[in-house]
Structure 1
């Protein structure tokens, strides 16, 4: 199979993204990769794989089998892997949404995953680093920034971009680990609520506004038929 071509955006279009990720890295200085993403135009490909390719190539199953071999409970191993993948798709972008009301594109074809020496996920990257903002944002009009007409439009767009990646991960986890659909989407909801809870404290921003943005994102996913509000523990 031929290597997919990554189109590198112009360097000046990545300035806003670079500054954004600088702020996200500062949320946890001892662990700067927790919330930030990398611009793939600035990265080598060692230990990087595109999420869409990784699902087709069985990388998620391999991650699960490695974790299951090291843990005493295979169900917990499944949740650990699912949570890491969910964080890569939606948890990281929620940190930006909660703290600044902005978002990058977490779409399936845009997202890359970086693994550490043990095969665990320790970073995520983006081929297209364009930042989406709401009309009137101070970043509107800068290179690498696209303004949407209103805040609800941002949530609708973000939910639309997250769904394909999350759905394919859900199917992969069900196939290789037997993780139930309901439990998977509960983990998605927990990732969103977690970001809405903890990021405002780290960023020293308004916690009420953060919670509102988190609930708005959950509502946008629910409108797409995804059961992210279900909190009962079901496998």
Structure 2
């Protein structure tokens, strides 16, 4: 039997106006009701900002350095910690938006100035929020229902699936490229940047594989959309389909 968990952070949200992102996030949370923060995002205007911080702070403060040192004190070595952090950020930026993209043909903005992260009492990231709740969607999204394809209610249509997946890739690349560069510097090159991008590919394919199982939707559509995002990232110079050797860090040898 599926257990509905009453998450206190979700329960404390004060939603004054229900937008498409709220509805989409609710549907995503219902895919895994035992752990409602696994899918969907919070809207920053709906909650207090205790334990929340902008993802962009990784680039302007010593926050990433502190995260790295804390994890290093609890683990086996620099390469493992760097891989763990790269996978975390890949999930925050790409791994979380892919479920909405493949399930509903929608996406929130994954750009660096839009994403916030929530941390638990030990400083580990456990949820993601957006400052701007506007979604991008396919032109046949049910919300439009014959109206103009661009409407002022928290959702904007892009002309095609290719346009939507390219937009997601572009915004995600803007967030992750400087972040991975910063992680490489903080870790002293413990993991190649190419291997960090490979973690993005793993996050995207993993999400695209799980969602059809949970939602009972098309595996073909899911993988097509996820692969289109990865194709666009490759076009932007991100080696998301890196070799196994690079993923293990053997490129350092």
TM surpasses 0.5: yes
Determine the C-alpha separation between the residues in 2 that align with 1:190 and 1:83.
9
Determine the C-alpha separation between the residues in 2 that align with 1:206 and 1:36.
20
Equivalent pair of 2:101/2:225 in contact (CA under 8 Å): yes
Determine the C-alpha separation between the residues in 2 that align with 1:116 and 1:23.
24
Q: CA offsets, 1:161-207, max 9 Å, x none? A: 11111011111110112221111111111111111111111122111
User: Which residue in the other structure is 2:158 paired with?
Assistant: 148
Determine the C-alpha separation between the residues in 2 that align with 1:136 and 1:151.
10
Determine the C-alpha separation between the residues in 2 that align with 1:37 and 1:146.
18
User: Which residue in the other structure is 2:111 paired with?
Assistant: 107
Q: What's the TM-score, normalizing by structure 1?
A: 0.91
Match among 58, 76, 81 for residue 77 of structure 1: 81
User: Which residue in the other structure is 1:138 paired with?
Assistant: 142
Question: Measured at CA, do residues 116 and 197 of structure 1 come closer, stay the same or move farther in structure 2, by a change above 3 Å?
Answer: same
Q: CA offsets, 1:189-233, max 9 Å, x none? A: 111111111111112211111111111111111111111112323
Match among 158, 161, 166 for residue 168 of structure 2: 158
Q: CA offsets, 1:19-70, max 9 Å, x none? A: 1000111121111111211000012111111011232112122111111111
Equivalent pair of 1:35/1:91 in contact (CA under 8 Å): no
Question: Structure 2: 5+ residue runs without aligned partners?
Answer: 1-14, 145-150
Determine the C-alpha separation between the residues in 2 that align with 1:35 and 1:67.
24
User: Which residue in the other structure is 1:206 paired with?
Assistant: 218
1:11 Cα deviation (Å)? 4.5
Whether 1:173 and 2:187 are equivalent positions in the alignment is no
Determine the C-alpha separation between the residues in 2 that align with 1:142 and 1:17.
13
Q: May I ask how many residue pairs the two structures share in their alignment?
A: 225
1:142 Cα deviation (Å)? 6.8
Root-mean-square deviation (Å): 1.5
